[in-house]
Amino acid sequence: MKVLFDIGHPAHVHFFKYIIRNLEKDHHEIKICVREREDIVKKLLEYYDFNYENLEKNTPGLSNKAIAMFKNDYKLIKISKRFNPDIYVSLASPYSAQVSKFLGRYSITFTDSEPTGLTLALTMPFTDVIITPSGFTRDLGKKQIRISGYKELAYLHPNWYKPESDILKILGLSKYDPYVILRFSAFDANHDIGIKGFSLEDKRRLVKKLGKYAKVFISSEVELPLDLEKYCIDIPQNRMHDALYYASMLVGDTQTSTTEAACLGTPAVRCNSFVGQNDMSNFIELETIYGLIFNYNIPEKAIEKSIELIQQQDLKEKWINKKEKLYDEKIDMTAFLTWFIEDYPESLRMIKENPSFQERFR
């Protein structure tokens, strides 16, 4: 079988990496197509020794994205005619869904973000199936199947991820030194239009106030002024999850890093204007059911909570215990999706008829 993966974000590389390895071990042919993002995606793919072909870069602005869609579809058709895939796999990529329909092939899509209305509108008519977490609040119709898992558990589940403590030495720390990671988003995706996170002044306040209690490292998708740039974390991109695992806390305005922190047992404070009555289901669940994160849309409250948390004794130990409940109730996403892709379309029929079949992948 030939499988084409459409990748447009560093998190997509992590989401698919073990699935791709499993498929390769089972002698399936893989093609990876990449929409560049500050070269981070490419660096990760090269680190994992994955070959890839380029599509168009991610660009800000609806008009630019519309032009890029036509270019991506055209490029993907050309690549597909050479590779001749049986199945396209993506995280809600309109390009691979549209091309799969045009060429009469299967398309498997995953999404965990309810606000991606435009992206889903451009994907849903063309994909064959769309997989969402069980708590996903939108009803996407007969193509939707719900599973008890997060995309981050495809690469951070203990069946696949083992932290390496030498990251502390790389950071110049001992195991007794507390540190905080601040993660800031560029908000340049389709569904990020109009969304705001921490302002520049908020970022300075976080550094100043949290710096009284812990070493501060910044990971940012946007360029920072010199006074903040000196705090930027300087580690290989593939080691970020190790840094996050051993951190005392994550504070950020991003989505994926917040869920990653929760999966790793690291307290997380998230602040952006997604937060509210219509927030994404993953974050509501991680806060209200598992108590692993805190969500705010007012920066002052997020900063206050961060300062409160960093002063608590045995904070990490409490969170490590909390994450065990998460592991007990969620499935191994990589194991499930490897099976789902390999046995497709029979796997779709089985899950539709018996949704509890997914429990075999705990």
Q: Contact at 8 Å (CB) between 26 and 3?
A: no
- Alpha-carbon distance 84 to 77, whole Å? 10
Q: Is residue 291 predicted with pLDDT exceeding 90?
A: yes
Confidence at residue 272, expressed as pLDDT on a 0 to 100 scale: 94
Confidence at residue 297, expressed as pLDDT on a 0 to 100 scale: 94
- Alpha-carbon distance 56 to 51, whole Å? 17
**Scanning the structure block, which residue is given the tokens 């580690």?**
235
Confidence at residue 118, expressed as pLDDT on a 0 to 100 scale: 82
What pLDDT, in 10s, does the model give residues 163-186?
Answer: 999 999 999 999 999 999 999 987
Confidence at residue 65, expressed as pLDDT on a 0 to 100 scale: 65
166 CB contacts (<8 Å, ≥6 apart)? none
Strands 249-252 and 2-7: unpaired
Which of 189 and 109 is assigned the larger pLDDT? 109
Which helix (H) or strand (E) is 79 found in, with range? Answer: helix 62-83
Confidence at residue 237, expressed as pLDDT on a 0 to 100 scale: 87
Q: Is residue 362 predicted with pLDDT exceeding 80?
A: yes
Local confidence band at 125 (pLDDT 50, 70, 90 cut-offs): very high
If you average pLDDT over every residue of the chain, what do you get? 92
What pLDDT, in 10s, does the model give residues 204-227?
Answer: 999 999 999 999 999 998 889 999
Q: Contact at 8 Å (CB) between 35 and 56?
A: yes
Q: At what angle do helices 62-83 and 94-103 cross, to 10 degrees?
A: 40
First-to-last C-alpha distance (Å) of the chain: 26
Mean pLDDT across the stretch 155-160?
Answer: 96
Q: Which of 77, 118, 129, 58 is nearest to 94 (CA)?
A: 118
Confidence at residue 176, expressed as pLDDT on a 0 to 100 scale: 93
Confidence at residue 115, expressed as pLDDT on a 0 to 100 scale: 76
**Scanning the structure block, which residue is given the tokens 């300062």?**
307
Local confidence band at 117 (pLDDT 50, 70, 90 cut-offs): confident
Confidence at residue 114, expressed as pLDDT on a 0 to 100 scale: 86
Residue 83, judged by CB atoms within 10 A of its CB (0-12, 13-18, 19+), counts as middle
Confidence at residue 56, expressed as pLDDT on a 0 to 100 scale: 73
Q: Which of 246, 259, 264, 257 is nearest to 179 (CA)?
A: 246
Kindly report the pTM of this predicted structure.
0.91
Q: Is residue 38 predicted with pLDDT exceeding 60?
A: no
Mean pLDDT across the stretch 312-340?
Answer: 94
Confidence at residue 319, expressed as pLDDT on a 0 to 100 scale: 95
What pLDDT, in 10s, does the model give residues 188-210?
Answer: 555 455 567 899 999 999 999 99
Q: Is residue 357 predicted with pLDDT exceeding 70?
A: yes
- Alpha-carbon distance 296 to 272, whole Å? 7
Output DSSP code: residue 48.
T
Which of 40 and 51 is assigned the larger pLDDT? 51
Mean pLDDT across the stretch 131-135?
Answer: 96
Confidence at residue 63, expressed as pLDDT on a 0 to 100 scale: 63
Confidence at residue 219, expressed as pLDDT on a 0 to 100 scale: 95
Confidence at residue 263, expressed as pLDDT on a 0 to 100 scale: 97
Q: Is residue 37 predicted with pLDDT exceeding 70?
A: no
What pLDDT, in 10s, does the model give residues 52-91?
Answer: 999 876 665 556 666 777 888 999 999 999 999 999 999 9
What is the share, in percent, of the chain residues with pLDDT greater than 70?
94
What is the share, in percent, of the chain residues with pLDDT greater than 90?
80
